Amino acid sequence: MDSAFPSIGGSHAGIGGENSFWPSFTDIMMVITMIFLMATSLLVVRNWQLVAELQESIAAEQIASQMIESTSLENATLEERLANAEQSNSILRLRLLKKEEELDLAQTAIREQETRIASIELQNSELKFSLEQTQTQLATANLEIDSAATQSEELSRQLAALNQQLAQQKLESDQTVALLDTARKQIEGLSESSKRQQQSIAQLTQEKALLNQEIESYNQ
């Protein structure tokens, strides 16, 4: 069955193109309006029933009056007429009191409905303010997420560059270690050669000393 009112809680475009969880201000006002119309309709129907009952009471009063008149014509004494009239008036007074109580109840219900509508409007204002705050916080959170994603990408690029530098430094360190090992071996070889040369020099020195002694002994 088609309805003239829009669907409550329909899809509304939220931040980032997603459906919003919170109802829109139009939906809330539509709910308040529907509640007010339903309460007004109930009160109108109730008042109409009260009016109908009052009309029935008036008709009953007229019938009672006719009956009293017919009865008064039939009764011979004034006391019987007075007793019937008092009885009819008591019945009518009771009915009027009953109708007045029902009218008071209806007015009390109207005041309660007005109080409820005022409370709903206040809650609506609070919900609207809370919704605006939530949307602001959501926008701020989205900006922070975008900024964090950008920083993460930048850190990833920096980490990749650092890994490449570390690999290059490791390669250079391995090459340096190899060069140092070669230099160490060369130094060890030179040290051994220097030792042999020192031994040769010592031996030559000793031989020279012997030759000098032989020369001196020969000269003598």
Structural domain includes residue 84: yes
Domain span at residue 154 reads: 21-165
Structural domain includes residue 183: no
Residue 13 phi, psi dihedral angles, 5° rounding: -70, 120
pLDDT value of residue 23:
66
pLDDT value of residue 3:
45
pLDDT value of residue 134:
87
Structural domain includes residue 191: no
Say how many C-beta atoms besides its own lie within 10 A of residue 28's C-beta: 20
Structural domain includes residue 102: yes
Question: How far apart are alpha carbons 105 and 5 in whole angstroms?
Answer: 32
Structural domain includes residue 14: no
Quote the number of domains for the chain: 1
Question: How far apart are alpha carbons 135 and 145 in whole angstroms?
Answer: 15
Structural domain includes residue 197: no
Low-confidence ranges of the chain (pLDDT < 50): 1-18
Structural domain includes residue 136: yes
Structural domain includes residue 174: no
pLDDT value of residue 205:
83
Give the burial string for 105-136 (b: 16+ CB within 10 Å, else e): ebeeebeebeeeeeeeeeeeeeeeeebeeeee
Say how many C-beta atoms besides its own lie within 10 A of residue 89's C-beta: 13
**SS3 category, 19:** strand
